[in-house]
């Protein structure tokens, strides 16, 4: 399995680059993951999304539905895509260290 190395931390990631050991997540890991999703710098807007996703995930064990994410963070979907070009599921959830959202069929 692939790995990413951030400082002295090595974390296993799956094929799509989602971390497999959520307990090792930290701010630096988030920054390293962001670079893999075309995000060079995590701004305040990025963190608003990431923090909300983490809080929701820790409370409910799943990622929120997109519509809820927009409502609760006060962001339009287009704005989320501006921050995370690969979208909330692939980009934002990965940076937030969440488990990979269920694939679509």
List of residues contacting another protein (CB under 8 A) = 15-16, 18, 38, 62, 65-67, 70, 77-78, 81, 85-90, 100-105
| Tokens of residue 58, six digits | 């820790």
The answer to whether the CB of 96 falls within 8 A of the CB of 57 is yes
Q: Is 93 noted as a catalytic residue in this protein?
A: no
Q: Looking at 5, 78, 104, 105, which residue is catalytic?
A: 104
CB of 16 to another protein, least distance (A): 5
Question: From the CB of 92, what's the least distance to another protein, in Å?
Answer: 11
If the CB atoms of residues 32 and 89 are measured against another protein, the closer one turns out to be 89
Residue 101 contacts residue 37 (beta carbons within 8 Å): no
Residue 51 CA to residue 48 CA, distance in Å, equals 5
CA distance 63 to 42: 20
* Closer CB to another protein, 88 or 97, in the complex: 88
CB of 40 to another protein, least distance (A): 13
Strand, coil or helix: what is 8?
A: coil
Residues belonging to the active site: 104
């Amino acid at each position: 399995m692939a790995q990413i190395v951030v400082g002295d931390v090595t974390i296993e990631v799956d094929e799509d680059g989602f971390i497999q050991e959520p307990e090792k997540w930290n701010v630096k890991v988030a920054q390293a993951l962001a670079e893999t999703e075309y995000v060079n710098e995590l701004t305040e807007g990025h963190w608003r999304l990431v923090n909300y996703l983490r809080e929701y995930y820790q409370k409910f064990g799943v990622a929120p539905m997109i519509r809820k994410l927009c409502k609760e963070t006060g962001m339009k979907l287009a704005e989320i895509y501006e921050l995370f070009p690969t979208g909330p599921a692939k980009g934002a959830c990965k940076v937030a260290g969440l488990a990979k959202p269920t694939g679509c069929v």
